[in-house]
Structure 1
């Protein structure tokens, strides 16, 4: 497949939204997708980048079968099947304007937008945090919206999940490293094409933050964006809804700064030792003093021993499985 600019003229530039896990990406998806002119499908979690690598490496199963066979394979993907409206090969072909993989990506989003009765589309994928260079190459006029959240609250939220980086040290290291790399990539593109918004602002100053976001995209702000809870049942797959129990409610201020009540001083010190530079770069409150006491080193050692969920996997081999907070809540219906 050839590679060229596939953005074409659709009124606004393609929009790619992303953030670190548990930073408010799904909330942002719901809010932007509630705009009457912008369609945002459920995140495909790196699917486009996985296929791009395969296509660009010339895998025969993807290249030799032609573009229709490629579309058929993508349509059948589980993450595409989770979208709230089903697409067929014909839906995608009807809006396909070229033969590059970027054209295919654009066509899937245009087909989804058409099914939603909307003229514009935006993409949400946490994978863009690490692969922003790819859509930037596909769509030279693309705009990027990076949602960030206090890394300490990110770490607490990740601990409620059955997958992903589990302990505080792993989250701190990954959070600082991945955000550092993305912000450095952002420094290489036109500042008018890259916007950082804070989860905390989206919660505490939702309307003003969404107005800023809409101005960046190039559309008028729509109050309907704050009615997103009414659309949760229709847009979020029922089997995934338990992962975001607060999504069906209005923005909850108690979600901001939870680390202040839920983290011990040792945990705060350890996180700041590992990721304090990024906290400060993003303007978050810090203790300001890097501490390295015995308790901090002991906790870091425990986290090292549990790296990659080692203890959880060991327990599973013994027939012991401890449910996460979200799993327990889902099992008990709340």
Structure 2
């Protein structure tokens, strides 16, 4: 194996791009484990500065406690417990150092050589990861933004409104492109969803070459794994990972988006979309932008629809809502000037935060 073969693997890009599929493809490898992500960096990075110097054990411990509280409420439970004391002792004094120590315990429990993270929001933290782990490898997963928006429109994960999802896609692909230009193809591997599902064997082989691993047959049929079946059963938004890999979702926007929505996505994403080899409708240039009021109202209506369906159909709906509530309360505490929170200080509002979460989650 190459010198970097024991390095972490991070899937970056935009949600609804096939990252759950890619996670399970990689997780099927005998040396790689990638649990479903609690999105530690996404939720904790905005408040990380409030923990103070993480070289101080007390500050690091508070961060570890909050990270593990997120993991406890994660809508896709991890199969192994995490020892907080070990994380505090073993973590590098950075936010990603804490995240890596948590993932490494999972790796050890799974008895595999490498761990990975499929939180696509890590596209915002490429430099932070490489500062701690220079041998880290990134898979930049890209999908046609119209299909991304079509999928997100019916999912509780991500923006429901195609205009908002298109803006997010453009921003995150620009970050991915910057990372590839800065660190090169030895560190950042560009993978298109359409290629992965249409020529799986070739793309998996290329992916394994990039990671310094041997391709394994099990990676071509990830739907057969217990991990895939568990994920598919938890949420309607993840149901397709329990099916064989196919091209059936390529071009889904033809049915999932109206013509005006598709033209709007093309307009918002046009320069980046073309640079990645996707076609745009030339009429999109003349598609008017929606007003803020229209976007807000339509977003609320779409969100109401997907939340209602999630309540009826998703086994993990209560856990997801409990997690989301915890994130909001946590940020309220850390951003509230009157909370009494200071770097290295006590947290007088923590009990209130926990009580609020418990009362709203039925605990």
TM-score class, shorter-chain normalisation, is 0.7 to 0.9
Name the SS for the 1:244 alignment partner: helix
What RMSD over aligned residues (CA atoms) do the two structures have, in Å? 3.4
TM-score, normalised on structure 2?
0.73
User: Are 2:142 and 2:191, in contact at CA under 8 Å, matched by a contact in 1?
Assistant: yes
Q: Structure 2 CA distance, aligned partners of 1:98 and 1:315?
A: 41
Which string of whole-angstrom CA distances, capped at 9 and with x for unpartnered residues, describes residues 148-178 of structure 1? Answer: 1000000100110235322222222221122
Secondary structure, in 3 states, of the residue corresponding to 2:139? strand
Q: Does 1:305 align with 2:305?
A: no
SS at match of 1:253: coil
Unaligned 5+ segments in structure 1 are: 1-8
Identify the residue that residue 223 of structure 1 maps to in structure 2.
Answer: 217
Q: How far does residue 227 in structure 1 lie from its aligned partner after superposition?
A: 3.1
Equivalent residue in structure 1 for 2:13, among 8, 19, 24: 19
Structure 2 counterpart of 1:120: 114
The answer for the alignment partner of 2:355 in structure 1 is none
Partner of 2:135: 141
1:273-321 Cα deviation digits (max 9, x unpaired) = 22111221110122345441xxx33xx43x643324x3464799xxxx5
Q: Secondary structure at the match of 2:195?
A: helix
1:84 matched to which residue of 2? 79
Q: For residues 93-132 of structure 1, give each alpha carbon's deviation from its aligned partner in whole angstroms, at most 9, with x where no partner exists.
A: 78x3755554433322221111112111111112112222
CA distance in 2, matches of 1:183, 1:193: 12
Deviations 1:171-205 (A, max 9, x none): 22221122113312331123310111011111111
Change (3 A) 1:215 1:284: same
Q: What are the superposed Cα offsets for residues 50-89 of structure 1, whole Å, 9 maximum, x if unpaired?
A: 4456454444899552645544443332239821322223
- DSSP 3-state at the match of 1:181: helix
Structure 2 CA distance, aligned partners of 1:270 and 1:238? Answer: 31
The answer to whether the 8 A contact 1:161-1:326 is kept is: no
The structure with the largest helix share of the pair is: 2
Query: Which residue of structure 2 lines up, in the alignment, with residue 280 of structure 1?
Result: 274
Partner of 1:48: 41
Q: How many pairs align?
A: 311
Tell me the alpha carbon deviations over residues 205-238 of structure 1, each in whole angstroms, 9 at most, x when there is no partner: 1111111111101111111112321235577468
Q: Give the gaps of 5 or more residues in structure 2.
A: 315-363
The CA distance in 2 between the partners of 1:324 and 1:80, in whole Å, is 14
Classify the secondary structure of the residue corresponding to 1:191.
coil
Query: What residue is the counterpart of 1:188 in the other structure?
Result: 182
CA distance in structure 2 between the aligned counterparts of 1:172 and 1:103, rounded to whole angstroms: 32
**Alpha-carbon separation, structure 2, partners of 1:62 and 1:81:** 31
Query: 80-89 or 251-260: which moved more?
Result: 80-89
| Structure 2 equivalent of residue 6 of structure 1 | none
Do the aligned residues in 1 keep the contact of 2:10 with 2:116 (CA within 8 Å)? yes
Question: CA 1:174–1:89 in structure 2 vs 1: closer, same or farther (change >3 Å)?
Answer: closer
Query: Is the Cα–Cα contact under 8 Å of residues 228 and 241 in structure 2 kept in the other structure?
Result: no
When structure 1 is superposed on structure 2, of 191-200 and 224-233 the one drifting more is 224-233
| Match 1:249 to one of 237, 243, 250 | 243
- TM-score of the superposed pair, with normalisation by structure 1: 0.79
